Structure 1
Amino acid sequence: MASYSVTHLETGETFNRRYTLVNKHLKRESDWQHTTGTEIEAFHRQLLDYGETALHDLPEIANDLGFKHVFLKDESTRFGLPSFKILGASWALHKTLCRQLKLDPGQTTLAALKERLGAVRVKPRLVTCTEGNWGRAVSRMAKYYDVQATIYVPGFMNDYTRDLIRGEGADLRVLEDGSYDDTIAAVQGDARESGALMLMDTSWDGYEEVPRWVTDGYSTMLHEVDRQVASKTGGQLPNLAIATVGVGSWAHSVVKHYKAASCDNKIVTVEPAAAPSLKESLHCGKITPVVTEETIMNGACCGTTSKIAWPILRDGVDVALVVTDRESHECVQDLQARSVNAGPCGAATLAALQKLCRESVLVEEERRDVCVVLFSTEGMREYDTSHL
């Protein structure tokens, strides 16, 4: 079976791993807490351009692979952005600013918060880091509230993505030789020295509350999916969900949602072979930072799994796998041919489903009654294919 190599950041040791891992840490029974999402959905309905994003039915793919249903949740148009990240960014920022101003987030509308901020003598400055979509989402919300956002980005980010973030009015700071993990350190230093408010979707010791709000914010999309799938299947809900992993906040939300519904639901995570931080952590049984390389799936190019996401992912992910840039790119093309607008991180979920079947992780008999939902977390964007 084909393999890839991964290097541990802290020790420099390199290991060869198979592309697919059945998680030996999975807990069959656990006290999964379900996020109801009522308050959060009500908040999101206040945002400009609110609307449910499309759910695509892919019957040909379901038939070819032997599944009952395969659906793809298309986040390419969420609030006018090409990504779902604004769901988590908007909710976390709302709660952060309300806390700063001593307001009740459940009783404070966006308009009321904006008006209150307008009367503040010294407005807060936000600071975060990104590989693209998160930074643009934070910048969009900062522009709405008329507060300054400083966004640190790694050097491998292309000019197109940099310009999108700048176009939202953010102060973009590029670490030319830096990785994503280096940008995290830069954010920590900035906040420590300046007193800026960190708005991060990853966590570490002492910084856990805001990333938890980010995870909660993603629940809006999950409740949308359940309603949409049920309407198309006559009531059947997804029992196999595939999610891309970066730092882990999105996958954290997916695991909580579907495992709370039923411990028999299966969760599959997918990462680029250039940055398999969660999968390597599952191999080792603890958070294990890895050396990252460039990938077209740059929104998932993260070397360290979020602290609050780790125990949820460790206990709730059934299968973790990685895909190559070529596999992701081919699925981008496949989905585009089906009029589905998916970028490399989004199309990686289809590549993962194909690999599950190709490597017989799910044998044919197990697929017949399975309703699959693939989460395409970003729309099409520019990326370099010269190395494929």
Structure 2
Amino acid sequence: MDSPVYINPSAKDWIYISSESSTESRILEFHQLLPDYNETKLHALPELAAELGLAHVLLKDESNRFGLPAFKILGASWCVYRVVGDALGIDVVYNKPSIEDLGSAATDAGVSIVTATEGNCGRAVSRMAKYLGIPVRVFVPSYMDRQTRNKIRSEGAEVIEVQGSYDDTIPVIRKEAEQEKVLLVLDVGLEGFEDVPKYFVEGYGTMLAESDRQVLEATGGKSATHAIVPCGAGSIAQAVTEHFKGAQRRSKLGPASIIAVEADTAASLKASLQAGRSISIVTKDTIMCGMNCGTLSTLAWPILKDGVHASVVVTDQESHAAVVLLQNKGVMAGPCGAASVAALKRVCAEYRDILGLGTESIAVLYCTEGPRAYTVPFEVQGRDVMMIHE
């Protein structure tokens, strides 16, 4: 039987060295100007830390970011701002046009946006498009539930169904974006399409800058030794890996190990690490729908290949158990966000020595989404049954 954990030997001594100067401070300033900006909480979980034999377990709670239930708006807002600026010939990084001014120029130019999503990302892109007053069409896989579609529509977007999976939406939206003045916004790197998803990754820097400072405050000046992050197509995992393995952060705060968590029905990173190359896999439905991606971002793969110390797959049952565990501690998380807890428990039980998890370890977990209704399988007397969790 294939192990649910893959230890990546190439990540031990790898350091990420960027060829570009950091724009993290500029991105934070940009986010602070948006409506409903808020710094999300970092929850201490001392009982879980004691149970696992760690110094600290700290959970960065992205369940309410700009009033939306996920971290995606950080990347989506910065990406849309950059993409629209690029289309209009405006250097938004240095000129810093207001949302109103950029939106007015975009309206005059008649631009629109097209994107694809499994839920949170499409809603986030639509929210930023609404701030700017730009039309947006969101293409979704056929299995997406009505409630999720309606939330995307609530942001003013047109929702269009594509038969098949998320991966099946990609060629459709790429063709749509061939039309004049139609801008493709996507957080997944594809062949010939890597500048735009790079903006998403940059946008997540606000979350990471916040959590670095919050961890130091929570521990009396000690930084994280381990970071656990969900991985779907790989953009958020890429951002976390670049941040914690970056030369600049390492020189100030020391090294940290990266643990990526995937759904066992969509473990494309683990399969790729084992193969030594990025490969596509056939996925199955999961309650961790934001991680249901069979192909890694071409932008993320080189970073994850060299920088992720371990890939851990968890089941729907494990994810649901983690949702309940966090709920009992007053933290409201969705299955993707709670998966980080499930992954930490697994590696502490079986791989703690290999990954250097001990009584001095400080683990920061990225909880990427808030609570939502879902149907989850669980075992009763040897058979799978279904329930609705809200």
Please give the TM-score of this superposition, normalised by the length of structure 2: 0.91
1:38-77 CA-to-partner distances (Å, cap 9, x unmatched) read: 0000000011111100110000000000110000000011
Q: 1:112 aligns with which of 85, 90, 101?
A: 101
Letter in 1 for 2:279: T
Q: CA deviation at 1:111?
A: 2.7
**2:382 equivalent in structure 1:** none
Q: CA deviation at 1:146?
A: 1.1
Q: Does 1:198 align with 2:184?
A: yes
Output the CA distance in 2 between the equivalents of 1:73 and 1:367. Answer: 21
Letter in 1 for 2:13: R
- Residue pair 1:204, 1:306 contacting (<8 A) in 2 also: yes
Q: 2:3 aligns with which of 18, 21, 30?
A: 18
Q: Residues 65, 36 of structure 1: CA spacing in aligned structure 2 closer, same or farther, 3 A cutoff?
A: farther
Letter in 1 for 2:200: V
Output the CA distance in 2 between the equivalents of 1:231 and 1:247. Answer: 32
Q: Does 1:308 align with 2:299?
A: yes
Output the CA distance in 2 between the equivalents of 1:240 and 1:364. Answer: 9
**1:28 equivalent in structure 2:** 13
Letter in 2 for 1:279: K
Q: 2:112 aligns with which of 116, 122, 125?
A: 125
Please give the TM-score of this superposition, normalised by the length of structure 1: 0.92
Q: Which runs of 4+ in 1 moved over 6 A?
A: none
Letter in 1 for 2:32: R
DSSP 3-state at the match of 1:207: coil
1:261-302 CA-to-partner distances (Å, cap 9, x unmatched) read: 237310000000110011110010111000010000000000
**1:255 equivalent in structure 2:** 241
Output the CA distance in 2 between the equivalents of 1:350 and 1:31. Answer: 26
DSSP 3-state at the match of 1:79: coil
- Residue pair 2:110, 2:181 contacting (<8 A) in 1 also: no
Q: Residues 252, 363 of structure 1: CA spacing in aligned structure 2 closer, same or farther, 3 A cutoff?
A: closer
Output the CA distance in 2 between the equivalents of 1:96 and 1:161. Answer: 25
Q: Residues 364, 90 of structure 1: CA spacing in aligned structure 2 closer, same or farther, 3 A cutoff?
A: closer
Q: Does 1:160 align with 2:147?
A: yes
Q: CA deviation at 1:159?
A: 1.1
Output the CA distance in 1 between the equivalents of 2:352 and 2:281. Answer: 25
**1:341 equivalent in structure 2:** 332
Q: CA deviation at 1:125?
A: 1.3
DSSP 3-state at the match of 1:385: strand
Output the CA distance in 2 between the equivalents of 1:123 and 1:36. Answer: 29
Output the CA distance in 1 between the equivalents of 2:226 and 2:271. Answer: 22
**1:184 equivalent in structure 2:** 170
- Residue pair 1:160, 1:382 contacting (<8 A) in 2 also: no
Point out where structure 2 has 5 or more consecutive residues left out of the alignment.
Answer: 378-384
1:150-181 CA-to-partner distances (Å, cap 9, x unmatched) read: 11111111111111001111110112x31110
**2:121 equivalent in structure 1:** 134
Output the CA distance in 1 between the equivalents of 2:80 and 2:58. Answer: 31
Where in structure 2 are the equivalents of 1:48-67 lying within 5 Å?
Answer: 48-67=35-54
Output the CA distance in 2 between the equivalents of 1:148 and 1:63. Answer: 50
- Residue pair 2:100, 2:132 contacting (<8 A) in 1 also: no
CA RMSD of superposed structures (Å)? 1.6
Where in structure 2 are the equivalents of 1:67-78 lying within 5 Å?
Answer: 67-78=54-65
